[in-house]
Amino acid sequence: MSAAGVPEETKIVVEYPGELESSDGILTALVRRLAGELRFDSLELDEGEGPLGGRITLWFRYGAKRIFHVSVVRKTGRTLVELGGLDPGDVLRAIASCRTHFDRLLGIEPEQVRSFESSLRP
């Protein structure tokens, strides 16, 4: 909880070296996957308009609360995926699902993830 009484978000930003060719259908399978893990009753798709497509944000809402969001930002030669939400337990499970989804989408193999994580260990 922040000083102003607003609950703080659990949030991560994952940077992928590849660039998405098209945004068509990139979140369709993810919504189905997260339907089993998050309790939401509405989705709000916000597509920032810009010459390069800008930022795509999908908000997962339960009642009036935005409980989780996935943002995809297309940069030249890389893709940033921002994942965050309110309840840490639910959010960490959703983040794991999202990472698996975007890894597959952007051609990252599980072996590459394992070798990267082992390289971080002292």
Partner 1 sequence: MTGLRPLWAVHTKPRAEKKLARFLHSLRIGHYLPTSPRRHVYGGRQARTNWSPLFPGYVFVLQEEIDRTLLFRSGAVVRFIPVPNPEELYQDLQSLWLTLSAKPAAIQETLYQPGVPVEVTSGPLKGVQGELIRTKQGGKRLLICVHLLGTAVTVDIDAARVRRR
Q: Give contact residues for partner 1 (rule: CB under 8 A).
A: 22-28, 31-32, 35-36, 40-45, 47, 49-51, 53, 56, 58, 72
Cβ proximity to partner 1: between 32 and 121 the closer is 32
What is the widest separation between alpha-carbon atoms in the chain? 44
Nearest approach, Cβ of residue 102 and partner 1 (Å): 12
Identity of residue 108: I
CB–CB of 44/61 below 8 Å? yes
Q: Pick between residue 27 and residue 108 the one whose CB is nearest to partner 1.
A: 27
Q: In the complex with partner 1, which residue's Cβ is closer, 8 or 47?
A: 47
Q: Tokens for 97?
A: 């699902």
Q: State phi, psi for 64 to the nearest 5 degrees.
A: -90, -10
